[in-house]
Amino acid sequence: MTRLNLHDDDVPVGTILSRRDAVAVLGASGLALMLGHRPRMSSPVALPQGVCVVRPAQTEGPYFVDEQLNRSDIRSDPSDGTMRPGTPLELTINVFRASAGCAPLAGAIVDLWQCDHFGVYSDAQDPSFSTRGKKFLRGYQVTDARGAATFTTIYPGWYRGRTVHLHFKVRSAFTSPSYEFTSQLYFDDALTDRVHALAPYAEKGARTTRNERDGIFRRGGSQLVLAPTPKGAGYAATFGVGLQV
């Protein structure tokens, strides 16, 4: 497998809906619930200002590894304790039950994984790097009573063929029926430009792919853009995901 194939990686999955279509779908789901019909599992929605709006699922890509690392701070490598440098990012993913009035979904497993400041993933074999056995920038949290899973990570770097992004997956722990939803999160290009102009990102040089040139982003990524706010030396951001469970 070549680097080019890997980084054209992420063929989108799921259905991308407009806001008007999203409202229609959500209305249909509510009607199905009232009539006693169970909606399709794992239909993704996000909750801006308390209103459920359907969001797209996207592929997990070639670099998901189920390391089973239950930790909030994913910056370190457990094998030697070294920390991946970069601008700190505190990310909270809030998970809700769209089929229950957007009530918080406790006990869901939320996986987060991403590349480092140089565009390198851990525990991966690639033509330009080999990081087998390393586990930096990977981990999972279990949502609390509020449906929240909070991570401390870094602002991602870039690699050829993709815009700047993170990967996440929400899945059931010990509940039945099981569910799983996978997608990606993005950043405003202007913010990325400011962050990547600083160390340690600047050493890699200017990125080659911005949001509008990324084939995955163009298929619904505008609905998956984080809105970080300054926090200390870095940023904090939240994102809501609703599941029909």
**Structure confidence by residue, pLDDT tens digits, 44-55:** 444 443 445 457
Mean pLDDT of the chain: 82
The predicted model scores a pTM of: 0.81
Confidence of residue 243 (pLDDT cuts 50, 70, 90): confident
Comparing 111 with 101, the larger pLDDT belongs to 111
Q: What is the pLDDT of residues 138-160, one digit of tens each?
A: 999 999 999 999 999 999 999 99
> Residue 90 maps to which CATH number?
2.60.130.10
pLDDT at 24: 29
pLDDT at 54: 53
Distance of CA 113 to the CA centre of its chain: 8
Q: Tell me: pLDDT of 73 over 50.
A: yes
Q: Tell me: pLDDT of 175 over 60.
A: yes
Confidence of residue 9 (pLDDT cuts 50, 70, 90): low
Can you give the residue range of the structural domain that contains 10? 3-243
Closest CA to 169 of 180, 154, 153, 155: 180
Q: What mean pLDDT is predicted for residues 179-196?
A: 97
Q: Which of 10-14, 39-43, 91-95 has the lowest mean pLDDT?
A: 39-43
Q: Tell me: pLDDT of 206 over 50.
A: yes
Provide the number of structural domains found in the chain. Answer: 1
pLDDT at 46: 42
SS3 sequence of the chain: CCHHHHHCCCCCCCCCCCHHHHHHHHHHHHHHHHCCCCCCCCCCEECHHHCCEECCCCCCCCCCCCCCCECCECCECCCCCCECCCCEEEEEEEEEEHHHCCEECCCCEEEEECCCCCCCCCCCEECCEECCCCCCCEEEEECCCCCEEEEEEECCCCCCCCCCEEEEEEECCCCCCCCEEEEEEECCHHHHHHHHCCCCHHHHCCCCCCHHHCCCCCCCHHHHECCCEEECCEEEEEEEEEECC
Q: Tell me: pLDDT of 23 over 80.
A: no
**Count of CB atoms situated within 10 Å of the CB of 41:** 15
